[in-house]
Structure 1
């Protein structure tokens, strides 16, 4: 994957003037948990050139439910506007709109219903579930450009019956909609998608993930499992006291010692089957972290061909 080769030259685009480029409104996916308020978040930005965006401050953002204004907020220095509403919304999606330069811009987001007693799995995207070339991610109009890694979609779909799935990627917000479309096209289970708001976060992906996971875990303490493919993923998950699963065959032995290395998504599936009772229950999984329960690792056995 050409992550560094693509993003480092694009860093020079940060020097583009703030005023140029079209305005864009994007929204985070929302999560509804019984007994808790629902937070709706939108961003107002300018897009001088993909994948760079610049925040627009002091813009009024109106949030709509069922076609009616629920509440409004003003964008801050990061272009971010947020509101909190009672949990009894009865809606599956919301819309955010802002008027910039006389034109109205908007975006629609999903509201996911989560249960408070389920373990939450965070999943990386590039080279974890997607065989990604970031040149294609940024510049190919087709959402389906990158293939999915074998067994990743079927494994996560099966896990989504007992766990909540959240996708956390260092991809810039500019490709958020394309990322959502790719996950849908490749038949991954639906779940909130968290991206980097700034290009510098996409470049320093390990720092970004460590910071954003810390914030997410304060709001959702049952984020207890992380699946990724790189040392940066392992460090971000382990530093947030999460069970760290690294998927894929790698010769890199510099992972944190807490990381469990699994060669394929089929092995990931087996690992969850072997440890179903512990992993699906946040309390039992925390007990495993304390050394009070054991986890079983799958073993790969080589069976030679009879002709050998």
Structure 2
């Protein structure tokens, strides 16, 4: 049976110390965003295929999607931070390296939340666009954290490996993207690489405390969390449509709005759900915990692609 990759707290701690960055390294708020460029790569945005929209509207929608992308990351990190902090607190008197690595994880997530808030303010100043995002984050965090610890850990594991896939497969090497936004995504990816390793360790620790039936139930609960997030993502599509209409100063025709809704619903599902559920490393880790549960996830993923 494949148990997935092998990670250690020491390796994650060492990497975190080598790759640290500050907010000022990433976002220069004196420099406006270049609004002639897209923010998200096409495999995530899927705006270029919207043939009923004018090129200017497709670019606007791409930038609106980029805004939502980082704001949604900020939203999910609002539940990742307290979850990891609680996990670290449970064994503060134990392994010092483990404690330091997890506290670095927490500090970096807090930094990311701060960065994404600053991005949102800078985006509004640079673009003049009025964009709403699902939430509020505290309500989403409360709902997610009401689930069992292993289900939450698997959800976070999904998010961390999803982030790695987005950068490696879609963002890296795309020279058309807005430079500051691309740099922000790169720096986020660098630190999330350590977080993916650490959450793998957390997930395995939690699973080791349960029997096979409870691990399988936790995987099913993770799928339930995904279903709830899918509902929120559908709402985000409507918010993005509204933002596009405000930006262009006119409503879309009904057939245009429906095309955008269909394409963007699929794009959001792939971006936040399918790309994580089908990640080979994520699935290999799940197979090491519960092969049948991993297979349920693998079978569910194509519908979200």
Q: Which structure carries more strand by proportion?
A: 1
Shorter-normalised TM range: under 0.3
Q: TM-score, normalised by structure 2?
A: 0.27
Q: Which has the larger radius of gyration?
A: 1
Q: TM-score, normalised by structure 1?
A: 0.27
Greater relative CO (CA pairs within 8 A, separation 6+): 2
Q: Which structure carries more helix by proportion?
A: 2
